[in-house]
Amino acid sequence: MKPIHLSIFCAVLFISACSNPKDSTSTSDSTSSIAETSPATMMAATIDSGITGKKWKLVELMGKPVADSVNGKEPFIMFKKEDSSYTASGGCNGLGGKFEWDEQTLRIRFKQGMSTMMACPDMTVEDGLKKVLSDVDNFSLGGDSILTLNKARMAPLAKFRAEK
């Protein structure tokens, strides 16, 4: 075999060995079909029962603790399952909009909708929360009491605690 043919053969062999095509017609391995559907199913169940319908109190923003009250109001976020909407406050204005969930990528995104436009003495937490909502691309749920909003694999941008 000539050296050029051997190089091409090795390259094709390497590429085909590295690829991992799914064989969707095979049903002999029942554990693989469970493994393929479980993460999305489990995460969807987490969103349905773990995040929506609760008030999440903002306790940390960009690695810094957040006071229980900012400008006399509690910073929080709430998710409504029925219309995929959220309401929030950074301690001044009411914020709201829609959140999108992609079961394929297990990501979350926020689209800002309404917002009141009051000026308050301390806008730091609100400005930070608005930035987090525009930057976040995923979340983590620690049990049923801690929610973190994250970007890529960086440290959490915001941390919330479920109110009881």
Ramachandran category for residue 105: left, alpha or beta (phi over 0 → left; psi -120 to 50 → alpha): alpha
110: in domain:
yes
pTM above 0.75, yes or no: no
The tens digit of pLDDT for each residue in 87-97 reads 999 999 999 99
Report how far residue 38's alpha carbon sits from residue 20's, in angstroms, rounded to the nearest whole number.
19
Residue 123, domain extent: 36-162
- In this structure, the dihedral spanned by the alpha carbons of residues 119, 125, 126 and 128, taken in order and rounded to 10 degrees, is 130
Residue 89 inside a domain? The answer is: yes
Residue 55 maps to which CATH number? 2.40.128.270
Residue 11 included in any domain: no
- The total number of structural domains that make up the chain: 1
5 falls within a domain: no
* Residue 15 belongs to a domain: no
pLDDT in tens, 9-41: 444 333 444 444 344 333 333 333 323 333 444
**Look-up: residue for tokens 């979350």?**
108
